[in-house]
């Protein structure tokens, strides 16, 4: 059977395509877009949106809204600003025969948590981390620790 090359690049979802349609009055600006900030009563668009080369999206409210609040206002999370991992290598992991522990699930969880950490780092660049952000980072550490314990990995 011939491989179907048209399926080689499945619909890659870009974070920018996720966030832009949810923003009002989004228009092109110098190096990205400017839109109404959904997190505050924004009469003149004051939310800067930028897509980086690697697909990450940076958002910055010039009125000072927290990036986490901005994405939450349109039903997204900071992790949605990061591109999904490219498809492929994950399929090489055979499902574990032990239903209580799948290495793939654990890696997936760790990857997700690392996205949260990266998102928080972005927030830190834009301003200050909130107590909630810090608590979420603590949760990330706890989850990764749990995952390691679950996998039975000993130091």
Q: Which residues bind Zn ion (CB under 5 A)?
A: 37, 39-40, 61, 63, 65
DSSP class of residue 84 equals P
**What is the rounded CA–CA span in Å between residue 102 and residue 96?**
5
Q: Where are the alpha helices (DSSP H) in 1-155?
A: 15-19, 67-73, 103-126, 131-150
- Least CB distance to Zn ion at residue 52 (A): 21
Cα separations in angstroms, 125 against 6, 58, 105, 106, 128: 39, 10, 30, 29, 8
Nearer CB in complex with Zn ion: 37/116 = 37
Nearer CB in complex with Zn ion: 124/141 = 124
**What is the rounded CA–CA span in Å between residue 138 and residue 83?**
23
Nearer CB in complex with Zn ion: 32/83 = 32
Nearer CB in complex with Zn ion: 62/101 = 62
- Least CB distance to Zn ion at residue 71 (A): 11
- Least CB distance to Zn ion at residue 29 (A): 16
- Least CB distance to Zn ion at residue 33 (A): 15
- Least CB distance to Zn ion at residue 21 (A): 18
Which candidate, 144, 86, 79, places its Cα nearest to that of 110? 144
**In this structure, are residues 76 and 22 in contact, taking their beta carbons and an 8 Å threshold?**
yes
Nearer CB in complex with Zn ion: 41/100 = 41
């Amino acid at each position: 059977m011939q491989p179907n090359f048209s399926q080689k690049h499945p619909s890659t979802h870009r974070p920018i395509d996720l966030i832009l349609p949810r923003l009002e009055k989004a228009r092109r600006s110098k190096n990205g877009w400017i839109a109404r900030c959904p997190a505050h009563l924004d009469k003149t668009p004051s939310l800067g949106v930028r897509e980086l080369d690697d697909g990450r999206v940076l958002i910055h409210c010039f009125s000072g809204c927290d990036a986490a609040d901005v994405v939450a206002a349109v039903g997204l999370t900071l992790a949605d600003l990061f591109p999904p991992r490219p498809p492929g290598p994950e399929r090489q992991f055979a499902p574990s025969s032990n239903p209580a522990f799948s290495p793939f699930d654990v890696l997936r969880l760790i990857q997700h948590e690392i996205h949260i950490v990266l998102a928080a780092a972005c927030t830190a660049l834009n301003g200050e981390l909130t107590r909630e952000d810090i608590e979420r980072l603590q949760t990330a550490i706890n989850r990764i620790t749990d995952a390691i314990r679950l996998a039975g990995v000993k130091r």
